[in-house]
Structure 1
Amino acid sequence: MSGKVEEALGYEQARDELIDVVRRLETGGTTLEESLALWERGEELAKVCRLRLDGARARLDAALAEETEAEPDAEAGAGRGPSPTSR
């Protein structure tokens, strides 16, 4: 599968097509060559899904890391009480 096709295919689209490929393989009625082509397409689609999920996981991990880094600053300021100049 070319990189351009991977970029153009979203997770949901790849997942839906993969479900269709699996259904067609499970149903049978295809020639050996058709089955092999479906299998290869399924492998490509599974790779796209895996890449999309890995990318989403990385984005979530980065967002959680930023949130965790910001929490100690907020907690440090919360326990000080009013500043002497605020009275």
Structure 2
Amino acid sequence: MSQDAEIAGLSFEEALKELERIVGRLESGEAALQEAIDLYERGDQLRKQCAARLDAAQARIEAIRLDTEGRPSGTGPFAAG
């Protein structure tokens, strides 16, 4: 299994947990140069995977629309911000 396929198979929570571990290892300064480069590359792939999962989740979220009297009248796309 390629690294890309392996990362794509991770849940959001699994990818985030591994990304946090990588960040901790990099911040510790204990990784040799080549290990740090490899960790950075994997961390970047994990970050992209997490962002893609969040984008997909946001696209599925719907906001409840209310009519002028405050009653639910339907749903529409969620607009963050």
TM-score w.r.t. structure 1 length?
0.67
Q: Point out where structure 2 has 5 or more consecutive residues left out of the alignment.
A: 66-71, 75-81
Question: Which amino acid is 1:36 matched to?
Answer: I
Please tell me whether Structure 1 or Structure 2 has the larger radius of gyration of its CA atoms.
1
Question: Does structure 1 retain, via aligned residues, the 8 Å contact 2:26–2:36?
Answer: yes
Aligned residues between the structures: 67
Residue 8 of structure 1 and its aligned partner are, at CA, apart by: 1.1
Q: 1:13 to 1:26 in 2, by over 3 A?
A: same
Alignment match, 2:19: 18
Q: CA RMSD in A?
A: 2.0
User: What is the alpha-carbon distance in structure 2 between the residues aligned to residue 51 and residue 9 of structure 1?
Assistant: 12
Which portions of structure 1, spanning 4 or more consecutive aligned residues, are displaced by more than 2 angstroms? Answer: 4-7
Q: Point out where structure 1 has 5 or more consecutive residues left out of the alignment.
A: 73-87
With a CA cutoff of 8 Å and minimum separation of 6, indicate the structure with the bigger relative contact order: 1
Question: Which amino acid is 1:71 matched to?
Answer: S
Alignment match, 1:71: 73
Structure with the larger strand share: 2
User: What is the alpha-carbon distance in structure 1 between the residues aligned to residue 28 and residue 7 of structure 2?
Assistant: 27
Residue 9 of structure 1 and its aligned partner are, at CA, apart by: 0.7
